Structure 1
Amino acid sequence: MASPGDDELQTALTQLKAANPALGIPKLHALLRTEYPDWAVSEKRMRKVLATIAPPEADTGPPHPSSQLVEGLDIAQWTPRVDVRLFDKRKGKGLVATQKIKAGETIWLEDPFVIAPQWEIYDKQRAGAACSLCTTLFAHSPEARARCPHCPAAFCNALCRKRADKTHPLLCAAQNPSSMPLLRWARSKEWLALHALVQCTARVLLANAAGEAARAADWAVVRGFAVLGMEERAKYSFRAEPDRETWKSAFELFCAAFHRPRREEAPAKNLTDEERRVAAILRKPLPAEIESALFDYDAGFLRGLGRMSLNLEAHGGLYTLHAHLNHGCAPNVSVRHLDQRHALSRITVKALADIKPGQELLITYVNPATGYAERRAALEAWGFVCQCARCAEEGRDWAPPAEPEGLGDLASELKAGLGVM
């Protein structure tokens, strides 16, 4: 393990503290260990460096999300035409073209890391009318279906059934009934971010059971997703107090679904049948830093919800390479779901304009047809103020309104994702 320099450590702590201002020293230290597992930093040294960091000015506007590179990411599995670039500490990472891309060309196809589909699709999954992995509607797919041997979950084919082993065993009504109250509750609240966090957590736990290499690869992807604390997202997105009671209720169901705290030390005869089944699925405990990063309330659960909310694609998927795409109010790429017969959750990334080598690929997080003030307000949900050339021109004479303007349907949708009821 390496010992970072004071400047490097100060930068990392400044970003973590800004995104999680409510965390105390022990939890901040645990978060630092999780985000930078190759660093050797004692709590004593962290306290010393924290003392040199000036407190933030009062209410200077939205804090910026933090992100990091995905260690060992093999971009060539999707495309040789782009590469990851770390722009700066504030903007973070993004994708740039490595060769000329013409307007209309497909740049890459990508299946989701996990999928928390739109609720109408989820209902069809529960009813056996859509694949429980790729979300393809069976009315559109003539292939023979496969089923979970334990519950009614249906899949397009044996391949989807096999791939579902990365998440399904912990979310199976028969193998882990404790997951059902959480999933039903997320459905009742129409809370996609919570559902995505459940899927993501199940994947990390099952990767850990599969072995150290699988765990390291999947955890690197999760840690690489941009993140901003839930408290800050709620505050700056909607200028309202977050619904902490709802968050707490969700956390209790979340812990129960994954049998936290675990009882590995309890005699087998004292475990319930379900606990024994889940223990057999999980096989071994998580490393302490990952356990904390998933199941601590502030540094784990709320941070995880913020991470999901920032990175969910419009149809509910989390995509490893897609999550690197930054926003632009004049986007040069679009994301589409074109394979509705065989893989509804698969995205196709296409060029909207000619892209030169070295030029950044940009999508839009909001409706680009709207005016500057509406785009700026909507982008607060992602924790930044756009500084593209279009915004610089259109926002030259703009002044903030006395009271935030409502965002209509977009605000309602984002509030559901955040759990701000």
Structure 2
Amino acid sequence: MTAPSEAQIVEAVTAKLTGSQGKTVPDAELARLLATLELENDWTDVSAKRFHSVLSKNALIDSPPPATEGGASAGAGAAGSKKKKKSKTDAGVPRSFIDANVSIPAGVRAHYFDSVKGKGLVASRSFAEGELVFTEEAYIATPPPEAFDQVSSGELCAQCFLPVSSAPVQLAIKNCGKCKVRFCTSACARTAMATHHTLLCTGLNPAAKPLVQLVQSQKWQSLHCVARSLARLLSTLTPHNNGMGKQSREQDDLIAAYGDFETVHARLSSFATVSELERRSRNPGWATEKASFEGILAEAYTALCNALDPYAESRTSGPHPDPFHVQLDLIDAVKTRKGQIKDLFTYASFLKLLGRANVNMEKFGGLYSVHSFLNHSCAPNVQIRHVPERGILASMKVAALALRPIAKDEELVISYIDPTTRLGRRQLVLYRDYCFGPCTCPKCVQELKEVGLQYDPAKNSVKTFLDSVARKSNPEPHAAAAVDPSLEEELRASLGF
């Protein structure tokens, strides 16, 4: 992470404005733009006040600067407080931004709330109970851990994860030819080769074998998600997606379908992101797990770099460099690409990529562009279901359905956890697994009130408040100090492997 100079801030903002209609940034868009640039450029220590000052100085914004950092824009909670609020985002808070290239379905609109809550979806019309809000296929498809072995053996399609035997046309089944994986349709094979398999096939890229073996042996879903995310990005720089005998129109179709480097980079960066070590450190067993987990993290990082980093030492030095499909001339064609790729393969970025996968993956796996906008509530108004394909529940296509009547301008929310569990348990899992809290949805506010609690950030830290919630909401007087075995098991299972 780097603290940008004034020139770097101006350059980044100007680049954003070049692709938009205006020449200045609207005041209302400042928070969202700053969050976007922090994620895309891995910036740190850029306060809202400094950002505003730099833009004003360089005539990139024409509104007057805020009187103080803890002014009205900081929210009602800052009223009456003389203590200035830190404007930069806490490192433990997942950060997200809205990618303008995401196709938002009819009936809903994207909305950026603030640097803590991030992005969300709001209804632009009313929905009846049971009405379909949207459907979506995974942007990054990763199989559920229990399906890893079947995918590797060719029993399940390596793209949609449905049984190959269920293929609508048996003649359309495609074998890789370089490894054992198979695809149930030509469309699945085409998508896989354009987005991940060219780089993760152990036959086409032998350096990927240790990474694939680690994912499979550990059933490490989040690592697999990271690998497929980076593979999708780097696949935009391979001969498969850039020529290789293709007609110009076919190449344009590939870019339109799967995006170029800049489009994919922006999409992946827009997902809520937090370091995996921040998540892990909140696990009740972290003190005993730390040493062993850091060891396997180092192993995973090395395997990932050797498999996919175009600048890995094993690939660039020695008498016989490993074969690779990413073309360096395509990286050099745009001056920002090399720096972005090198940043992605630092250890700090690896931890953030793992954290991003874990806080965004749908329960069966996979990253979804629109689904990732949905914020949490223990009293949700939307539920997510998987759409059947060929009479089988598809793991990589979801449908969002209204649980109750939804009014226009109401935020669309889902529950990240089982909302029927007790208050203390819900708050603890959300804090440790999704790095936010305390949850102040209507259900939690009411239940907190019933036990005589109300969250005031000026008086209590999040952890202190959650300890109070655990003590007051736990029916067993001596259970508050410990985490029950079922909860700890659930937390460990949800940490990615």
Write out aligned runs for 1:89-104 (5 A).
Answer: 89-104=115-130
TM-score normalised to structure 1 length: 0.80
CA distance in 1 between partners of 2:304 and 2:190 (Å): 25
- Look up the SS of the partner of 1:346 in the other structure: strand
Q: Does 1:216 align with 2:236?
A: no
Residue 66 of structure 2 corresponds to none
- 1:325–1:13 distance in 2 versus 1, CA, 3 Å: closer
- Look up the SS of the partner of 1:257 in the other structure: helix
Q: Does 1:188 align with 2:217?
A: yes
CA distance in 1 between partners of 2:276 and 2:160 (Å): 28
CA distance in 2 between partners of 1:15 and 1:321 (Å): 18
Structure 1 residue 369 displacement after superposition: 0.8
Q: Does 1:121 align with 2:168?
A: no
- 1:382–1:105 distance in 2 versus 1, CA, 3 Å: same
Q: Which amino acid aligns with 1:31?
A: D
CA distance in 2 between partners of 1:327 and 1:65 (Å): 13
CA distance in 2 between partners of 1:135 and 1:237 (Å): 31
CA contact (8 A) 1:64 1:90 kept: yes
- Equivalent of residue 102 in structure 2, options 73, 86, 108: 73
Q: Does 1:310 align with 2:359?
A: yes
- 1:190–1:55 distance in 2 versus 1, CA, 3 Å: farther
Q: Which amino acid aligns with 1:159?
A: A
Residue 3 of structure 2 corresponds to none
- 1:312–1:257 distance in 2 versus 1, CA, 3 Å: same
Cα deviation 1:7-43 (Å, max 9, x = unaligned): 99x9799989xx9xxxxxxxx996129x9xxx9x99x
Residue 490 of structure 2 corresponds to 410
- 1:234–1:252 distance in 2 versus 1, CA, 3 Å: same
- 1:143–1:246 distance in 2 versus 1, CA, 3 Å: same
CA distance in 1 between partners of 2:326 and 2:389 (Å): 37
Residue 23 of structure 1 corresponds to none
- 1:344–1:63 distance in 2 versus 1, CA, 3 Å: closer
Q: Which amino acid aligns with 2:422?
A: G
Q: Does 1:152 align with 2:188?
A: no
CA contact (8 A) 1:62 1:384 kept: no
Q: Does 1:370 align with 2:421?
A: yes
CA contact (8 A) 2:32 2:97 kept: no
CA distance in 2 between partners of 1:389 and 1:352 (Å): 16
- Look up the SS of the partner of 2:199 in the other structure: helix
CA contact (8 A) 1:13 1:32 kept: no
- Equivalent of residue 229 in structure 1, options 275, 278, 291: 275
Q: Which amino acid aligns with 2:156?
A: A
Residue 138 of structure 1 corresponds to 164
- Equivalent of residue 391 in structure 1, options 444, 447, 455: 444
Q: Which amino acid aligns with 1:405?
A: V
Q: Does 1:31 align with 2:31?
A: no
CA contact (8 A) 2:175 2:182 kept: yes
Structure 1 residue 265 displacement after superposition: 10
Structure 1 residue 86 displacement after superposition: 0.6
CA distance in 2 between partners of 1:293 and 1:410 (Å): 33
CA distance in 1 between partners of 2:343 and 2:176 (Å): 30
- Look up the SS of the partner of 1:317 in the other structure: coil
Residue 306 of structure 2 corresponds to 256
CA distance in 1 between partners of 2:34 and 2:97 (Å): 15
CA distance in 2 between partners of 1:265 and 1:328 (Å): 47
CA contact (8 A) 2:175 2:181 kept: yes
- 1:29–1:333 distance in 2 versus 1, CA, 3 Å: closer
Residue 7 of structure 2 corresponds to none
Cα deviation 1:107-147 (Å, max 9, x = unaligned): 22211111221122221111111111011123444432122
- 1:62–1:74 distance in 2 versus 1, CA, 3 Å: closer
Structure 1 residue 237 displacement after superposition: 3.9
CA distance in 2 between partners of 1:355 and 1:13 (Å): 29
Residue 278 of structure 1 corresponds to 325
Structure 1 residue 389 displacement after superposition: 1.0
CA contact (8 A) 2:331 2:337 kept: no
Residue 59 of structure 2 corresponds to none
- 1:15–1:71 distance in 2 versus 1, CA, 3 Å: closer
- 1:358–1:29 distance in 2 versus 1, CA, 3 Å: closer
- Any unmatched runs of 5+ in structure 1? 20-27, 43-51
CA distance in 2 between partners of 1:255 and 1:55 (Å): 42
- Tell which structure's C-alpha radius of gyration is larger: 2
CA contact (8 A) 1:134 1:344 kept: yes
- Look up the SS of the partner of 1:220 in the other structure: helix
Residue 161 of structure 1 corresponds to 189
CA contact (8 A) 2:113 2:119 kept: yes
CA RMSD of aligned residues (A): 3.7
Cα deviation 1:226-275 (Å, max 9, x = unaligned): 011122111224362442222111111111111453469969x9444x42
Q: Percent identity?
A: 27
- Look up the SS of the partner of 1:205 in the other structure: helix
CA distance in 2 between partners of 1:156 and 1:98 (Å): 38
CA distance in 2 between partners of 1:238 and 1:223 (Å): 29
Cα deviation 1:147-192 (Å, max 9, x = unaligned): 2243322111111111112111001121012112112112222221
Structure 1 residue 281 displacement after superposition: 9.8
CA contact (8 A) 1:62 1:383 kept: no
Write out aligned runs for 1:346-365 (5 A).
Answer: 346-365=397-416
CA distance in 2 between partners of 1:127 and 1:72 (Å): 36
Q: Which amino acid aligns with 2:419?
A: P
With CA pairs under 8 Å and 6+ residues apart, which has the higher RCO, 1 or 2?
Answer: 1
Q: Does 1:330 align with 2:382?
A: no
- 1:264–1:172 distance in 2 versus 1, CA, 3 Å: closer
- 1:347–1:12 distance in 2 versus 1, CA, 3 Å: closer
Residue 22 of structure 1 corresponds to none
CA contact (8 A) 1:71 1:220 kept: no
Write out aligned runs for 1:103-114 (5 A).
Answer: 103-114=129-140
- Look up the SS of the partner of 2:96 in the other structure: coil
- Any unmatched runs of 5+ in structure 2? 1-10, 15-23, 55-68, 71-82, 243-254, 454-467, 472-479
CA contact (8 A) 2:235 2:326 kept: no
Q: Which amino acid aligns with 1:411?
A: L
CA distance in 1 between partners of 2:167 and 2:216 (Å): 26
Structure 1 stretch 217-226 or stretch 120-129: which is displaced more?
Answer: 120-129
Cα deviation 1:56-80 (Å, max 9, x = unaligned): 99xxx993211111133222xxx21
Q: Which amino acid aligns with 2:163?
A: L
CA contact (8 A) 1:62 1:236 kept: no
